[in-house]
Amino acid sequence: MPNARTARLSRRGLLAAGGALGLGAVLTACGDDDAKDGGADTKGSAKSGPWSFKDDRGTTVKLDKAPKNIVAFTGVAAALYDYGIEVKGVFGPTTTKDGKADVQAGDMDVSKVTVLGNVWDQFNVEKYAALAPDVLISTMFDDAGTLWYVPEASKDKIAKLAPSVGISVFDRQLTAPLQRMWELAESLGADMTDTKVTEAKKRFEAASERLRKAAKAKPEIKVLVGSASPELFYVSGTNLSIDLEYFKALGVNFVEPTEEAKKATGGWFESLSWENVDKHKADVIMMDDRSSAIQPADITEATWKQLPAVKAGQVIARSTEPILSYDKCVAPVEALAEAIEKAKKVS
């Protein structure tokens, strides 16, 4: 799953390397765990009166009014942008080395947001404080409430400056966090009846049905999910990642890492040397599209080039950390459906 490459092999490091992690505590004065509070407030609550939102940690953040100075993980900010909600600051992969928008920034104009940190473990607390944040929003890749890309070393300082909201992207199907982001955007004042929004949801549902039909028609096509680094090739398991769990539920036949290998990484993935990259047989390969991973066109290893799926041109990109708007989740579903529809059995 998500990987902010790190040499540390702690649980946090493992998840960052091929899985996921990061955390921020919630100020007692700004949030509580009152089970009576619901998820998002009703539409229009952002325009006047108090605002509250119960996140996926069970914590309800309450403010006198809807937050305006929002700081968010880049992918979250990109999703909110698709719903018409703009943030003041972001943290996480936002710009590439040439200054262009990172794939995780979606359609955001990255020149109009304050970037607090562009890489793993980077978060400028002073800049964050200067933004006078009302709320910090991120995703969570574990069940411990750890906020993605919030550094462990500075999480307590960050937590004192504003309450936080966490949306879980751990061990559930894609449709669950998509719905949660929808609810969050609505609570912040987004118009969820806008034609662009409703049509995007319909397109996502149509793409999902297309993938279901493709998988049913060609159950023999085996799909491997990979991510490349200079030293290792990572084969992702499907049991924890929101996109893969969803695709599997739609009937896609995935290659799974060995259980023994997954145990070493908390269940996320299997690490292979490039000499052993042909360990698993596959007809289609989905490759991590994030800037932290080597892209297929740049892989020079001879063993990679000899893989049957590679030689057949049956390699597609994978949105390893999907931007959680329906608009941005259409393309990945359609791409996999098309790949299976066109795939030849080569394994």
Between 17-21, 47-51, 73-77, 330-334, the lowest mean confidence (pLDDT) is in 17-21
The residue whose two tokens read 């609570």 is 187
What percent of the chain shows pLDDT beyond 70? 86
Looking at 139-194, list the stretches that DSSP marks H as alpha helix, in order from N- to C-terminal side: 155-161, 175-187
**Region of residue 121 (left: phi > 0; alpha: psi -120 to 50; beta: else):** left
Mean pLDDT over the full length of the chain: 89
pTM here is 0.88
Each residue's pLDDT tens digit, 225-238: 999 999 999 999 99
Alpha-carbon separation of residue 127 from 62, 98, 113, 122 (angstroms): 24, 23, 12, 12
| CA pair distance 217, 3, nearest whole angstrom | 33
Q: DSSP states of 245-279 as a string?
A: HHHHHTT-EE----HHHHHTTTTSEEEEEGGGTTS
Distance (Å, whole) CA 246 – CA 242: 6
- Residue 282 contacts residue 311 (beta carbons within 8 Å): no
Tens digits of residue pLDDT in 300-317: 999 999 999 999 999 999
Express each pLDDT in 167-210 by its tens digit.
999 999 999 999 999 999 999 999 999 999 999 999 999 999 99
Q: Is the pLDDT of residue 28 over 90?
A: no
Give the HSE-up count for residue 239: Cα atoms under 13 Å, Cβ half-sphere: 12
Tokens of 271: 């690490």
